[in-house]
Structure 1
Amino acid sequence: MSSPRLPRLHRGALFALALVLSVLCLGIEQAAAHAVAEGDKGYIQEITGVHLISFLYLGAKHMVTGYDHILFLLGVIFFLYRMKHIATYVSLFAIGHSTTMLAGVYFGVGINSYIIDAIIGLSVVYKALDNMGAYQRWFGFQPNTKAATLLFGLFHGMGLASKIIDYDIAEDGLLPNLLAFNVGVEVGQLLALGAILIIMGFWRRTPSFLRHAYTANMLLMAAGFVLIGYQITGLIIS
């Protein structure tokens, strides 16, 4: 779905600034975008057997506090107005996210956390540029947005898998616990998406939406570059 060309804004858009930066600040104290709280980490490492409710909660908590996921979802639904379109794109993201998270942990396949999280930051930059119509202006064509959403969903899931692998979850009950965690992630995604849609719904009813949309996506792109820079810095000094 192509994005409309938007007027450039020469004055600050306070609402857009608060919307994007408040989401980014959710994770500012974490060591990495997919970090798990120390208390949760200790719990994961200590328990054995099937703990469906616990892993369901941990999955939902991860998604609700996962600012990289939320920023990407914000970019994905920014110009989607119909629920069937939103459902399609969010489902593609969920399929990609779930596939690599489950497969990565179950088969013990992970990627350096700094590298994968930098790619996740790139996904935010990519979507912001897409929303601003940059690819049409620069290259004269519109990339397949559905394919891109699925592809970046795979990377988002890989990032989470890499973190979970580091915590050495017990083999006893691994598969059902992972499935419960993934269900929790999807529940958390729906909660985060619902909050975004409520805010966007109110904003879209105001005349300022199209005037401020370009600025909001500029800020979204800047947040993505911050995530990339943070991870590259971490890779260099680690």
Structure 2
Amino acid sequence: MQGSFSSRQPCHARWRPVIPVCLALLSLPFLGGSDALAHAVAEGDKGYIQEISGIHFLPFIYLGAKHMVTGYDHILFLLGVIFFLYRMKDIGLYVSLFAIGHSTTMLLGVYFNVGINSYIIDAIIGLSVVYKALDNMGAYQRWFGFQPNTKAATLIFGFFHGFGLSTKIIEYEISSDGLVPNLLAFNVGVEIGQLLALSAILIVMGFWRKTESFWRHAYTANVAMMAAGFVLIGYQLTGLFVNS
């Protein structure tokens, strides 16, 4: 069952290690340039998508897997989703809900040419990271006295993550020749990449959960995750304002 952090430590003890962890995490996006903060496809891949036509299963599977593995907004959200999940049954359920949401809007968005302003959708994706981190910290129970439906939230934010990618693909004007098979292949690649990223996360989390430091630093990790989400939101809203 999805859980949240309930600390036995005093507040000041929880927050003491937060600042250096946040600074280290927040510096990562800027090391990769502006594209690192966007829900984008790499420039080389963009050119390839624009130039080809016809059915290309393996290249689009590769592109989908590459996008998921290198898309740290996806990975941050997945980390938040499985942070307090221990049973594989629960992990499979939540990851499946995210995959269903992500796949549905990515496929339908491109096929029906439904795009959303990329700055707005990427800001919402950043918001999904903030939402999940706050959920893990037990914020909603403390603030509002109830726990929002975590399954519904995972599915809904999955829809937004899918729209983030479909919006980019629409901007790149992918050829209509072989569109459906290529999109399906891309989605297969996305799911493969998601499984690879999830496997790495679960391995690391498995070792971490066996140590005494997990409960000491779980709150800190989610504060850092929340801060990264706010950076994503701020960056995208700034881009919206500057380019509007």
Contact 2:5 2:219 in 1 (8 A): no
Does residue 104 of structure 2 align to residue 99 of structure 1? yes
Q: Which amino acid aligns with 1:224?
A: G
TM-score of the two chains, using structure 2 as the length reference: 0.92
User: What pairs with 1:221-232 in structure 2 (closer than 5 Å)?
Assistant: 221-232=226-237
Q: Which 10-residue stretch deviates more, 1-10 or 67-76?
A: 1-10
Contact 1:118 1:227 in 2 (8 A): yes
Aligned to 1:3: 4
Aligned to 2:163: 158
Q: Which amino acid aligns with 2:3?
A: S
Instruction: Compute the RMSD of aligned alpha carbons.
Output: 2.0
Aligned to 1:65: 70
Aligned counterparts of 1:27 and 1:146: Cα–Cα separation in 2: 33
TM-score of the two chains, using structure 1 as the length reference: 0.94
Aligned to 1:140: 145
Aligned counterparts of 2:236 and 2:218: Cα–Cα separation in 1: 27
- Shift of the 200–5 alpha-carbon distance from structure 1 to 2, 3 Å rule, reads same
Contact 2:74 2:161 in 1 (8 A): yes
Displacement of 1:34? 1.6
Structure 1 stretches of at least 4 aligned residues deviating more than 3 Å after TM superposition: 13-29
Contact 1:24 1:67 in 2 (8 A): no
Q: Which amino acid aligns with 2:124?
A: I
Contact 1:23 1:70 in 2 (8 A): no
User: What pairs with 1:16-55 in structure 2 (closer than 5 Å)?
Assistant: 29-30=34-35, 32-55=37-60
Displacement of 1:36? 1.0
Aligned counterparts of 1:224 and 1:167: Cα–Cα separation in 2: 26
Consecutive unaligned residues in structure 2, runs of 5 or more: none
Per the alignment, in what secondary structure is the counterpart of residue 41 of structure 2? coil
Aligned to 2:89: 84
Does residue 121 of structure 2 align to residue 116 of structure 1? yes
Displacement of 1:31? 5.9
* Aligned length in residues: 238
- Shift of the 64–52 alpha-carbon distance from structure 1 to 2, 3 Å rule, reads same
Q: Which amino acid aligns with 1:195?
A: A
Aligned counterparts of 1:98 and 1:27: Cα–Cα separation in 2: 27
